[in-house]
Amino acid sequence: MGKTIRLAGLVLFFFDLLIVNGGLLAAFWRHDAFSWDAYWGMLPGLSATALVIFVMFDLYAVQKRRGLDLLLYSAVLAVGLLTLCTALFSSLPGAVAAVAGLLQGTLLFLWRLGIWQIERRVYGGRKVLVVADDPVAGLLIEERLHLHMRGWFTVAEVLTAEEQEKLARLLPTVDAVVLGGASGVQKQLVSLCARHGKEALVVPELFDLLLFGAEPQQIGDLLVLSITPPKLKLSQEIVKRGLDILVSGLLLILLSPVLLALCLVIPLTSAGPAVFRQERLGKGGRPFALYKFRSMVCDAEKATGPVLAVLDDPRVTRLGRLLRATRLDEAPQLINVIRGEMSLVGPRPERAYFSDQFKETVPGYLQRLCVRPGLTGLAQVRAGYASAAVDKLRFDLMYVQNYSLVLDLKILFQTLRVVLLRQQAAGLNGQAPATEAREPGMKEMV
């Protein structure tokens, strides 16, 4: 399977390379500055840059059942960044780089759209059974499948884990089984699917995620899996801290005119300070003061106490909506990163009030505190703002178990897509997610 995925990635990159170079050659061909020597000189650098950028946007990850909007936004952003790099770091005229980018973007869009349509024909149209611990959990999974792109899944029936006889009877009539929860009989259900040659789509429990980082060991003739508590190695901590200081320092310098302007404009557009301070939980559950630009009216929680924000929250100011849409309200947290209280990438920091609630309802929730909280994270680029706490926790633990410098860089690049893909930041049915709290309850600073 791994070799198949790598081969598919190589095939994709080969055709991507043809598109990138074909678009550049077509734009450059009729320009006065065109020469074959100039083109061949740019070819290695252009190809290497395209590979790095496309990998950062996960264009060679498993595309099976991926949402079309996420895939195409990633492709467009990748080509846009490649065009910017071409214009800045080559002798190519800006107009040629722009035309090349337009051609490359259009061709890549059509190429990846065609691949997606083929994969939907091969892997889509699946008739599935949903098996969960109880009917309510099963209906929630069914709703999630219906919210996915049309044409991928049709839910035949929702069953509970106890209805194994009915499952065995219906199994020959479906293509796959989605197992959510059902932890007590999960092994039997997966084995049953295997015997009937059916695909099992398992929603992993937190214990299953711990197995991803397990180290196979041999004790005599006994094979064991060594499972250690999720945490980063010292070398990883050092590399991660270096990236935090470098990138956050550069961002503070580049954004300083915007940040200073917001410090002046926010108090002029609504009464109150520009920057607020709120206590959040950091690594190991240690509290720290998180900074952010105020996007709500002052004393937003004065009458209600701590509450989560909702979609189209009336407490958000007009300027605050723009700040939230562009994520500029989070920019002061770069100071938290410099101070070592946060990282650029990691689980989003939570307030103790809500964390105490989640740890009662979501087993293992506090395991996310084993690393510094982040400005962005795997849960932010893979899930949505309205995702439930347990769903985001799966991504948070997956991040810790699979941490690498490349993964951090990927998440930083893909955060650009989250900013532009507004529906990923929207609440579900007008409700805020049962995850990170937003701004109310912060203390005045500026």
Residues 96 and 39 sit within 8 Å (Cβ to Cβ): no
Say yes or no to pLDDT of 12 above 80. Answer: yes
Q: For residue 70, give Cα distances in angstroms to 19, 383, 415.
A: 20, 11, 12
Residue 404 neighbours by CB distance under 10 Å: 11
Looking at residue 432, its pLDDT comes to 40
Angle at 308 between CA 305 and CA 310, to 5 degrees: 125
Looking at residue 299, its pLDDT comes to 66
DSSP state for residue 316 in the 8-state scheme = B
Looking at residue 288, its pLDDT comes to 96
Q: What is the mean pLDDT of residues 103-126?
A: 87
H or E element, residue 42:
helix 36-56
Domain ranges in the chain are 2-122, 124-203, 234-444
Looking at residue 444, its pLDDT comes to 47
pTM: 0.81
For 17-68, what is each residue's pLDDT tens digit? 999 999 998 888 877 778 888 888 888 888 999 999 999 998 887 666 777 7
Taking each helix axis from N to C end, the angle separating 405-420 and 234-269, rounded to the nearest 10 degrees, works out to 20
Q: What is the mean pLDDT of residues 216-237?
A: 86
Per CATH, the number for 124-203 is: 3.40.50.720
d(CA 189, CA 371): 35
Looking at residue 35, its pLDDT comes to 82
Q: What is the mean pLDDT of residues 220-243?
A: 87
Say yes or no to pLDDT of 374 above 50. Answer: yes
Q: For residue 175, give Cα distances in angstroms to 155, 171, 200, 319.
A: 10, 8, 9, 49
